[in-house]
Amino acid sequence: MAPALKLHDLDGEHSLTLDVGGQAADAAGAEAGHEPNGYFWEGLVRFAWPDIAERLDFDSEAGMLCAVGSPSDFARLKAAVAPVITSPEAVRDVIARAETSGFEFDD
């Protein structure tokens, strides 16, 4: 896993978390007028990768993105999100596509 993405297993329930506020791409969200919190990152996942998001349950908070699901879903989520959390350009691209489509972030 990328260091920022953490996989947890508690009594057979699997979750993946991303602590927000210190990611390289957080500034791109803020520059676009968003609060780069857990809800923003959840919205980014829901918009950019709806096929992955629909298989997960989210329990995000202000300070973290949290998804509950299976290890195989997390492998797909990690592959999608890991390069984006380090790339302000990728976040700007997703935000621009989301705004064009009328998607609203809940941040």
Q: For residues 15 and 8, give the distance between their C-alpha atoms in angstroms, rounded to a whole number.
A: 5
pLDDT of residue 1: 46
DSSP 43: H
Taking only the tens place, the pLDDT of each residue in 64-84 is: 999 999 989 988 998 999 899
**With bands split at pLDDT 50, 70 and 90, how would you rate the model's confidence at 46?**
very high
Residue type at 102 in one-letter notation: G
Domain 5-101 has CATH 2.60.40: no
pLDDT of residue 9: 87
Tokens representing residue 64 in the block: 């973290």
- H/E stretch holding 57 reads strand 57-58
